Structure 1
Amino acid sequence: MKFKMKWVTPIAAALLLAACGTDEDKNAKQNEQEQEKPEVAEGPYKVVDDRDEEITFDEVPESIISLQPSNTEILFSLGAGEKIIGATDYDTYPEEAKKIERVSDSMTINAERIIELNPDVVIAYTAGDPAQIEQLEAAGLKVFVIDSAASFDDVYGDIVQLSEVLQVEDTGEQVVKDIKAQIAAVQEKTEKLDQKKKVYFEISPAPDIWTAGGNTFQQEILTAAGVENVFEEQDGWFSAAEEDVITKDPEVILTSVYYTDDAVGEILARNGWDKMQAIINKNVYLVDADITSRPATRIGEAVELVAETVYPDLFK
């Protein structure tokens, strides 16, 4: 509170000082606030990345380059968004991420620019050319490598790792806790269902349609959302024959194809698909591709999105 004492009467000044508290009160409050702040390691600390490399940090990084959209989302969730000075062409969430300078297309990096920016740490990932990481390290940059997450547990592990890099472990634990709570809230609703709906999830359109089978990130989302993937017995992502989709006769079709003008309309109009339940009942829906494919802090949102789309009555 700022005020000029010479313009305040003695009585008014006394009231103002009482409202602000005594010096002892203020000191006690300040001590409490300092105790509430997360503890930051004094001096160098080490964090192991997914190469099993022990990366030493002399102090908490203040400038970061993120080379994968999922890691960018995690960094923002940990309160480090303002520290990111370089990102990829596909870093679109949160909105602030769109303003960060682009230094990679997610596969090929602009090593020259990254070296010029001289970040405290580069958060890289294992996909792509290992020589790019070696180039950055040869230039003296600190590179922390994270495997591309293939499961919810992998995502939770990534959050914990990055929280250790940033020395905000408590925040990381809370982010994980919140995600799990969101998923649990969805499952509490879907557990009441007598029968799970059969769903076909399309990730690439005709003529070469692709879908997600078992042991995929999308499969885990579908399972957590309480739906049955008609291609769960298949392994990984694969090109599905149209006749196989028709034979499976899904009750609901989800598509994450966002780069065509009318993905839903195209599916509804496909020759030979008109006898499927999903087509007859027009249960074909476009779902957000980033949310349903990006292994980051919005996995709880992905589970909720799928469940709400397939079982709208449960969420009214």
Structure 2
Amino acid sequence: MKIKMKWVAPLAAALLLTACGVDEKTASQPKGEVNQEQQGSNTNESYKVIDDRGVEVTFDAVPETVVSLQPSNTEILFELGVGDKIIGATDYDSYPEAAQKIERVSTSTVINAERIVELNPDVVVAYTVGDEAQINQLEDAGLKVFVIESAAQFEDVYSDIIQLSEVMGVKPTGEQIVKDIQTQIKEVQDRTATIATKKKVYYEISPAPDLWTTGNETFQQEIMDAAGVENIFADQKSWISVAEEDVILRNPEIIITTTNYIDDPIGEIMGRAGWDKISALTNKQVFLVDGDIMSRPAPRIGQAVQIMAETVYPELFN
């Protein structure tokens, strides 16, 4: 079940807390299910898809122009092969490279409603932003808005892919993408299944002096679980601020950081006072990984699991 919270580094993210009502008609239908005519990419017949508010969104034809208001949804649309239809995106849409050339119409939390209305897209792919007024503003202007709730689990990502594939008339492609992701994760799990004792990992998303990491019930926890590693803060929930003493006490064997916005993040960790007693530093097991891949609930989650497993258990992938 999707929870109403965007999961990215807490220093860069806003909480996404939109709550929308579901009427009696849509409550009995699975989200994302095509409700009326079965839609396809070569038909102009109308069709309906239920979004994550429980709202039936009607399409008279497959959308030709799209505004995407979340980087993960932009990645999904490109993976579906319809990225060329995106005419508006957010400041943080960095993948694939072609996404960087799309006009910016949102900071990811605040939209430029006036410009979006001027662009007049066939559909705006929005997300639960905590400010229902922004979605209402677009709909009041006559735009079609399809809301995707921010994913918190792998199953949510699969659901997002299928929903957007239905909206864009390419459902078979969406189904294949989901299968490919699941296959990649299964291949990693097959390799790590022989591990007798999981290695203990500290996953850092914000550096000293304000250390932040991830606990249980987060997207990164599911990545670590799938990769066969032990999160040293799995006994806590959600995003957590931790003291250096706690990290030292828990003595991780591996330290993984996504902090790429400071000079030499690995060197910064290696040079912290008192951290020389930690096993990860003693054995020089401190690694920097791509924060976008590891944080976005998008088609690269299989790659995220593989990166995590290869970093912690390189001997299994040689």
TM bin, normalised by shorter chain, reads: 0.7 to 0.9
SS in 2 for 1:65: strand
Aligned residue number for residue 89 of structure 1: 91
Please tell me the residue identity of whatever aligns with 1:280. Answer: T
CA drift at 1:39: 6.1
- 1:300 aligned onto 2:302: yes
1:240 equivalent in structure 2: 242
* 1:29-178 → structure 2 map (5 Å cutoff): 40-178=42-180
Secondary structure at 1:46's aligned position in 2?
A: strand
Per the TM alignment, residue 128 of structure 1 is displaced from its structure 2 partner at its CA by: 3.8
Q: Percentage identity across aligned positions? A: 66
Task: Quote the RMSD (CA, aligned, Å).
Answer: 0.9
Amino acid at match of 1:221: I
Q: TM-score, normalised by structure 2?
A: 0.86
Distance 1:128 1:161 in 2: 21
Structure 2: distance between partners of 1:88 and 1:231: 32
Name the structure 1 match of 2:3.
none
| Residue in 2 that maps onto 1:287 | 289
Amino acid in the other structure paired with 2:199: K
Taking structure 1 as the reference length, the TM-score comes to 0.87
Does the alignment pair 1:249 with 2:251? yes
Identify unmatched segments of 5+ residues in structure 1.
1-37
Q: Tell me, yes or no, if the aligned pair for 2:126 and 2:146 is still in contact at 8 Å.
A: yes
Aligned letter for 1:60? V
Secondary structure, aligned partner of 1:264 = helix
Match for 1:269 among 256, 268, 271?
271
Secondary structure of 2:99's partner? helix
Q: Is the partner of 2:88 in helix, strand or coil? A: strand
- How much does 1:42 deviate? 4.7
Looking at structure 2, the residues matched to 222 and 106 of structure 1 have their Cα atoms a distance apart, in angstroms, of 26
Match of 1:216 in 2: 218
Conserved 8 A contact 2:44-2:62: no
Q: Does 1:193 align with 2:195?
A: yes
- 1:297 Cα deviation (Å)? 0.3
Return the offset for 1:127.
Answer: 1.9
Once superposed, which parts of structure 1, at least 4 consecutive aligned residues long, lie more than 2 Å away?
38-42
Residues 6-21 of structure 1 aligned to structure 2 (within 5 Å): none
CA distance in 2, matches of 1:194, 1:71: 37
Is the radius of gyration larger for structure 1 or structure 2?
1
**Alignment check: 8 A CA contact 1:67 1:124 kept:** yes
In structure 2, how many angstroms separate the alpha carbons of the residues matched to 1:125 and 1:80?
Answer: 19
Q: Which has the higher helix share?
A: 1
